[in-house]
Structure 1
Amino acid sequence: MKTGCLNVNFIKTIPGFVLTAIHRTMNGKLLLLGLLYCVQGIPYGIQSSLLPIYFRTSGLSFTKISLTKILYFPWILKVIWAPLVDQFSTKRQWLLLTMCGMALSCLITGTLSPEYNFSALAVSLLLMNLMASVQDIAVDGVAVQILQNDEVGYGNTVQVVGYKLGSVFAGGGLLTIMNLVGWGLMFALLSIVYVIVILYTAVASELKTLSKIQSNHQKSMKHCLNPWRILQEILRVPDTFWTIGFVLVYKLGEQGAISMFPLFLLDHGMSAGEIGLWHGMVAMVFSIIGSSLGGFLTTRYKVCSLMKIFFILRLLSLAFQTFLINVFNGNSWLMKGCAILSINIQHFFGGTITTLAFSIMMQCTKMAHVRIQATHYSFLATLEVLGKLSFSVLVGWIVDWVGFFLSFIVFQLLSVVAILHVYKAPKTLS
């Protein structure tokens, strides 16, 4: 990784970075990862963008909407079955199994009515999250092993962008067309998407080669499923403790704002269709641009130095949204324009920060032994989800209790905590 200070000349090299990323993607390795991360983002898009708007228009409280985030629970537990993915069978077989499970859960969900079969729908979505979380372990393990050091920036860009494209497709995209195609057909289309990626994964040469290596390695490896011993080995990897603290706090304030600001706009005159367009689709384009910028910058500058800059910029964008909440008038086109602008800015910085964060996690994991790399990365990723999920469950209650304005003050304070933590980053990750 190159080091140095930021300067304006980096803007001129962005087209070259994009062209290089496209060239490498067409070679197959990043294309495979992009497809796998894309379908992995579908369950998140359904639950983060589609269902909250649908439930709010049905009259549910903020507290109840936030509690639906409990369906993400399998993502917290994935570190428990990560050793199974690391030590038994191959990553290719795990990928095929889990994506078949997600295709099946989509078909089941399409037969259930959200109004009359909420419990059954929750079970189906829980199954979808379970399959997606196991798939995540396998994909991360593949990424750590096949990406060279000079490809980490590109790989993490593909990871974040692919995941967000899946989220946009299943969230904002489906929210926009749901009234036209209907609930059942919508999930049937999703199952077809999974089948297409399953077929591509089955014939991917990169996975076939990796499977042979993994099979030979597992024959000579002594399996260990003792959770305490595995945890001890994970924690012995250098810089893991600092990275744990980082992934727990780096998204808290941003997560609260992204979750609640669209609902604030919904309560103040903007329609579900407008929010689906601007928050679910257009803002995600800005998030993807930010993620691509983050991948570009990690190939040239110190990751933690970049993180400090973008944390401060994110804090300023949160302050802008807090101001808008205090003065917003839903009848003013100027206010609506400012609100849309703030959403796009927030997603742009959020996308950049996410790519930088996953680059830090992968740098830390690469210092682990190859036989626990997927488990180590899954451990960090699980804590990353835990940090976001635990606060997401509470954020609706906070808004119901103290209102939007004071809640956004809390979000800013949490963002300051993240800034202070990154200033204590170890030199090996900076």
Structure 2
Amino acid sequence: MKIDNKPWFWIPLLNFASGLPYAIIISVSVLMYKNLGISNEDIGLYTSLLYLPWVVKPLWSPLIELIGTKRKWFLWMQLIISIAFLLVGLTIPTNGFFMMSLAIFWVAAFASASNDIATDGFYLLVLPEDKQSFFIGIRSTFYRLSMLAGNGLVVLFAGYLEHKYGDNTKAWSYTMICVGLLMTFITAYNFIFTPKNEINVVENKKETSHQSFGTIFISFFKKKQIGLILAFVLLFRLGESQLLKMLSPFLLDGKEIGGMGLDTEAVGIIYGTFGVAALTLGGILGGIAISKHGLTKWMFPMFLAMHLPIIGFILLAFFHPASIYYIYIVVILEQFGYGFGFTAFMMYLIHVAEGESKTAHYALATGFMALGMMLPGMLSGFIQKYLGYGNFFIWVFIATIPGLILSRFLVFPKDFGKKSEEV
């Protein structure tokens, strides 16, 4: 069976393999360390440093651009990630597990960042351009679904094991081993089903083979509006970067210190059920909207849809409703808005990467995005402790405003992302 011209066979799990490691390293590790007794301040600081590989990945992205094939790169990186998660699971029961597991997560993070570079380049070069606007929504959806599989199903599984064994250490050790086995299966699937005929990749290399390591970087910083672009990319996720780090502690902490007092299993259920459905719907609708009308019409409304649901967490923090259904409503709105709005952001990054060396330039853009996630996230635990959860969420909402303002000054083709009429 020929798979190359059937992107539905390979795009979903290829992007799932990008999102799941990111979810485990950046998000699930927060909840895991919280349940293993690590403080909010240490969680915010040290797990935010795990963003660093995504920040500096542009330094080696030209190597992936010029050496080997994207397919070989992402398959090897996914294998390394699988082994790293297995090792984390074996490390958790040992003395000094915190620093040891962080070191292994660092290895996995570098492999995951490299996997992202190769996967993004593979998508940009193998999939025809007139299909990219539609499948950017599918990519974003399955990327986010993989994150919800981590934040939802993996957390739910860990919560089940916590109740079964009454031992958080054993529960999270077994959970991480299972995640490693799951990544091994996904790697094998991608080995079988991703396109092996990389004609488009080869043709692109003919166009860029004259470029040196340095000129690839220089050409990125010569792009029109580059100063505004970098400011926007750095600031757009200023609020979200802090929200993501403190959301799990907020849901788990007791009401006496401002949290919602949920257990691990409840958090997994919330994000693994209606959250998954809302995110899927939002991502698909976002991709369809852009493919029909272009990015210009939808960018600002989609960004608003992504940020406004933070108000729901402000209300939860101040009123602490007794019914868990209010938490479901807030999470559903947040996940739908994220799926809908983040599609526009990723589509804009594709525009930034347009031209020669798409893989390296896309990596540069996402590297700056990761920097904008890392630095505020490092401080999030200290800010939350100083402000308390209610005022912290107000601050997070205010922090979304600079990115929204800057987005109004971005210039790109009016119909960028719109599907061709003849297709």
Q: What TM-score comes out, normalization by structure 2 length?
A: 0.85
| 158-167 or 251-260, which deviates more | 251-260
C-alpha separation between the residues in 2 aligned to 1:254 and 1:202? Answer: 34
Could you tell me which of 184, 187, 190 is aligned with 1:195?
184
C-alpha separation between the residues in 2 aligned to 1:240 and 1:147? Answer: 26
C-alpha separation between the residues in 1 aligned to 2:199 and 2:4? Answer: 19
8 Å contact 1:38–1:165 — kept in the other structure?
yes
**Equivalent residue number for residue 400 of structure 2:** 415
Aligned pairs (5 A) from 1:200-279: 200-204=189-193, 206-210=195-199, 213=202, 217=206, 221-222=209-210, 224-226=212-214, 229-267=215-253, 268=255, 269-279=261-271
Could you tell me which of 37, 46, 49 is aligned with 1:59?
37
Deviation at 1:43, TM superposition (A): 2.0
Q: Which one-letter code corresponds to 2:223 in the other structure?
A: V
**Equivalent residue number for residue 370 of structure 2:** 385
C-alpha separation between the residues in 1 aligned to 2:196 and 2:348? Answer: 25
Aligned pairs (5 A) from 1:22-421: 28-67=6-45, 68-113=47-92, 116=95, 117-178=97-158, 179=161, 182-204=171-193, 206-210=195-199, 213=202, 217=206, 221-222=209-210, 224-226=212-214, 229-267=215-253, 268=255, 269-279=261-271, 281-329=273-321, 332-333=322-323, 336-366=324-354, 368-369=355-356, 372-421=357-406
8 Å contact 1:30–1:155 — kept in the other structure?
no
Q: Can you list the C-alpha shifts for 1:34-81, whole angstroms capped at 9, x where unaligned?
A: 212111222222234433223223333221111222122111111000
8 Å contact 2:90–2:177 — kept in the other structure?
no
Q: Can you list the C-alpha shifts for 1:190-212, whole angstroms capped at 9, x where unaligned?
A: 33433334334444472333387
8 Å contact 1:172–1:279 — kept in the other structure?
yes
8 Å contact 1:304–1:422 — kept in the other structure?
no
RMSD: 2.7
C-alpha separation between the residues in 2 aligned to 1:84 and 1:326? Answer: 50
Distance 1:253-1:345 versus aligned 2 partners, 3 A rule? same
| 68-77 or 195-204, which deviates more | 195-204
C-alpha separation between the residues in 2 aligned to 1:252 and 1:233? Answer: 27
Q: Which one-letter code corresponds to 1:60 in the other structure?
A: I
Distance 1:358-1:271 versus aligned 2 partners, 3 A rule? same
C-alpha separation between the residues in 2 aligned to 1:281 and 1:64? Answer: 30
C-alpha separation between the residues in 2 aligned to 1:26 and 1:289? Answer: 26
Q: Can you list the C-alpha shifts for 1:280-338, whole angstroms capped at 9, x where unaligned?
A: 55324322221111111111123243221133344442233323322224xx22xx322
Aligned residue-pair number = 397
C-alpha separation between the residues in 2 aligned to 1:355 and 1:230? Answer: 26
C-alpha separation between the residues in 2 aligned to 1:210 and 1:76? Answer: 30
| 114-123 or 194-203, which deviates more | 194-203
| Identical columns (%) | 20
Distance 1:204-1:326 versus aligned 2 partners, 3 A rule? closer
**Equivalent residue number for residue 167 of structure 2:** none
Structure 2, gaps ≥5 residues long: 165-169, 256-260, 417-423
Q: Which one-letter code corresponds to 2:69 in the other structure?
A: T
Distance 1:289-1:258 versus aligned 2 partners, 3 A rule? farther
Distance 1:425-1:274 versus aligned 2 partners, 3 A rule? same
